Amino acid sequence: MKHRNPGHGYKNRIRRNLAGRGKTTKSFKIWYFKTQAWLKFPLFALNLNFRFTTTISMKKIILSLAVIVCSGLLNAQTNPGDTIVMQTFTFGSPQDAWFVFPPDTNSYEKVIMKYTLKCNPAQNPACGEWDYLTNTYVYKPTGLLDSSQVIQPMLLVNGASADSAVYSNTPTYSYDTLWQYFIVHSSTTSLVSSVIGNGNTTTPAPFGASRPVSRTQYLWKASEMTAAGMNAGNITGMQFFLQTLGGQLRNMTIRMQHTVLDSLTQQTFTAGGFTDVYMQNTSFASGGWNSLQLTTPFNWDGTSNLLIEITYDGLQASADNVLAADTTQTFKSALLNAGNDRDVSAVSGGYVSIPLNAELAGIDSFVTVSFWTYGNAALQPMNGTSFEAVDSLGQRVINAHLPWSDSRIYWDAGNSGGSSYDRIDKAATTAEIEGQWIYWSFTKNVATGSMKIYKNGVLWHSGTNKTRYMNNIRTFRLLKGAGNGSLSYEGRMDEFTVFNKELSAPEILNYMNQPVTVTDSNFTRLVLRYDFNDGNYITVSDSAAGNHPAATLASVQNALKPASELVSNFTESKIRPRVTFEQGVYTSYIDSLQVLDSTMNVPMQILVFNDSVVNPGIATDTIIGWPATSGMNSDSTIYFSQYDYYNTFPEVIRYELARYITPYGNGLSLGAGWTWTFDVSDYVTLLHDSVHLAAGNWQELLDVKFLMILGTPPRPVLGIENLYNGNFNYGIGSDPIDNYLPP
């Protein structure tokens, strides 16, 4: 069992219990709109001695009764011993709210709080799992202003204070050496060259160096290869016909595999199963045929179709290499993805701040949230949040953990006006949470009560009877929860979309492979879409309808994806390079070349706070700079400084009305509810006019009402003062609670 120390919080001031009044007079209650409370009257007070004879006379009597009662209420005259019933929280209502109590001109003999606890059938377990300390608080605004000193660094680098920042305005690089291997043929025994294609058109793919990163797949059918004169056996090289020479292709890699595919589509994209046959920094020296000798020959079986993948990773754009090509008339022979595909990842508590728009704020009954994630294998699983949206009270509306530290994936959607929300969750495997790109989709349909999680377009988990609405979204973050104490998701994210409808499984699968377009019927239901390809490290644009403002990156990296990780947004094509397959028998050996490899340094997001007078604590500038370490040219150096300012806020004193520990929840049933009775007469000076109350720990359902018994109190309450504030243990000999109490 978990127990929180009941010695935390406020000194318990409950002194008296409700004593029986010995009255059995029948009474009735009237709702008093002026004070927003029930007034309870004894029947004899109105001398109602009558009987109904006809329907008409009954109406007249009821009308007369209403006039008498209303007249009495307007005069605000009540008798000692009468009870005002003040209903506050009800089952399922928010547990932090304001209520209108009677004015402080009333005098009460006793004030009783009736606190009823009931299990919530909408959650599992219904009573929550753990036994928790539960407090009931009343808040008193003093009308005064308080303040707190803030020490504001004038410089934050990636969200953290720094002594200085030395940076370059242009990208800087880190360098390392690596070995690249190639084959050398010392003698040739035989060579068969088989040409496929006539070169009737041209294409920059797969060597279009103007696109920094490229992943391309091509299909050659066995019938084409056989017709060109090829036989089963080793493919030892490939030739491409260059029409125009372009830039170097960094880390160009060729992979091959047999396949049963007879056409290439977005749905048939093949992510794995290849054999690496070539990897070198590659430049073409002349036009015409250029031969690439495979370091590892590929043994073609003579009957299977051949799937070939070609990738490269460039640091910057250069001129395209243009190739002779042909159009395959009867089948799609190519899948192309070349460009500047980027993702986002958080640094030291970073997140993406989503600006509110009308479509996002209007979500209530239907939603689909989809995105790609690649979990950090070194850090997952951990208590991170992939996204969270909260309402104006800071209560969760939608949220996902991918995963939590228990390796379970959680999908939360909809609340009942408090911190209790609909949830489904399921244990995930290691492969599902780290080390590869996976497309996750989360849906909810309040009308059907359905919540679902899809993995790569296939239903992975679902739940029913989930009918809480998802309205009033006011704050939305990606890569981190809405609260400052939330941890950022450790991994990378791409292609984040939100629809205000429940997408079907076929629709989800379709958008996994290709983003929704303006001609799609669902485009008008698209609330948010970020492809994260901006690359300015400050903002990311929203391509949904509505001309929404860009989202802001707060300590978030926005790097290019490696070519081998491009897994979506492929373009289908029938254009394929003209090639020559070489099948040779050689005397060969493997040689190597040491090359200098470079990696662009992660840029720094530098926030400058230099307006201590008009806008203290507000960033006045954002600088994106690349680290300029020893041996690099720097454009600027900023040194640490700070200033102090004071935040002012209304002073509100919190008082504790009651506390208890909830029962252990597993296997528990409270039926219609259990009721605790508290004498809170000592707090009467706080229970008048507008009253701010908070109760519960949001596991169970609560009903709280106050019985305010009019009369003369045993002694007048002049005021109330907290004996101590804070969280303190008691019963520790070395540090007793008396150390914290005033004399």
Q: What is the pLDDT of residue 12?
A: 37
Q: Are 310 and 522 in contact (CB under 8 A)?
A: no
Q: Please check the confidence at residue 343 and state whether its pLDDT lies above 60.
A: yes
Topology of the domain comprising 176-341+570-596: Jelly Rolls (2.60.120)
Q: What is the pLDDT of residue 677?
A: 94
Q: Which residue has the higher pLDDT, 619 or 355?
A: 355
Given this structure, which CATH class describes domain 345-559? Answer: mainly beta
Q: What does the DSSP 8-state code read for residue 479? A: S
Helix, strand and coil percent figures for the chain, each rounded to 5: 10, 45, 45
List of residues 6+ apart from 324 with CB closer than 8 A: 197, 199, 201, 202, 241, 242, 243, 577, 578
d(CA 280, CA 181): 7
Q: Which of 66-70, 237-241, 319-323 has the lowest mean pLDDT?
A: 66-70
Topology of the domain comprising 1-19+88-141+657-743: Jelly Rolls (2.60.120)
pLDDT digits (tens, 9 = 90+) for 725-738: 666 666 677 777 77
Q: What is the pLDDT of residue 726?
A: 66
Burial (CB < 10 A; 0-12, 13-18, 19+), residue 22, is exposed
Confidence grade of residue 132 (pLDDT, cut at 50, 70, 90):
confident
Q: Please check the confidence at residue 17 and state whether its pLDDT lies above 60.
A: no
Q: What is the pLDDT of residue 235?
A: 99
Whether 1-19+88-141+657-743 and 345-559 share one fold: the answer is: yes
Q: What is the pLDDT of residue 731?
A: 63
Q: Where are the domains of the chain?
A: 1-19+88-141+657-743, 24-80, 155-172+601-640, 176-341+570-596, 345-559
Question: Mean pLDDT for the chain?
Answer: 85
| CA angle, 276 then 270 then 577, to 5° | 70
Phi-psi region of 456 (alpha: psi -120 to 50; beta: other; left: phi over 0): left
**141 by DSSP, 3-state: which?**
strand
pLDDT digits (tens, 9 = 90+) for 355-368: 999 999 999 999 99
Alpha-carbon separation of residue 402 from 395, 426, 427, 447, 490 (angstroms): 20, 10, 10, 26, 9
**480 by DSSP, 3-state: which?**
coil
Confidence grade of residue 666 (pLDDT, cut at 50, 70, 90):
confident
> What mean pLDDT comes out for the span 599-621?
83
> What mean pLDDT comes out for the span 277-302?
97
Q: What is the pLDDT of residue 630?
A: 60
Q: What is the pLDDT of residue 735?
A: 77
Q: Please check the confidence at residue 68 and state whether its pLDDT lies above 50.
A: no
Q: Please check the confidence at residue 207 and state whether its pLDDT lies above 80.
A: yes
d(CA 600, CA 588): 36
Q: Please check the confidence at residue 563 and state whether its pLDDT lies above 70.
A: yes
How many alpha carbons fall within 13 Å on the CB side of residue 729? 6
Confidence grade of residue 488 (pLDDT, cut at 50, 70, 90):
very high
pLDDT digits (tens, 9 = 90+) for 233-250: 999 999 999 999 999 999
Strand (E) or helix (H) holding 222: helix 222-227
Q: Please check the confidence at residue 635 and state whether its pLDDT lies above 80.
A: no
Confidence grade of residue 633 (pLDDT, cut at 50, 70, 90):
low
Taking alpha carbons only, the member of 23, 155, 138 closest to residue 81 is 23
Q: Please check the confidence at residue 11 and state whether its pLDDT lies above 80.
A: no
Asked if the peptide bond before residue 381 counts as cis, ω within 30 degrees of 0, the response is yes
SS3 annotation, 658-682: EEEECCCCCCCCCCCCEEEEEECHH
The segment with the largest mean pLDDT, out of 25-34, 43-52, 125-134, is 125-134
d(CA 426, CA 410): 7
Asked if the peptide bond before residue 603 counts as cis, ω within 30 degrees of 0, the response is no
Q: What is the pLDDT of residue 463?
A: 96
> What mean pLDDT comes out for the span 667-676?
87
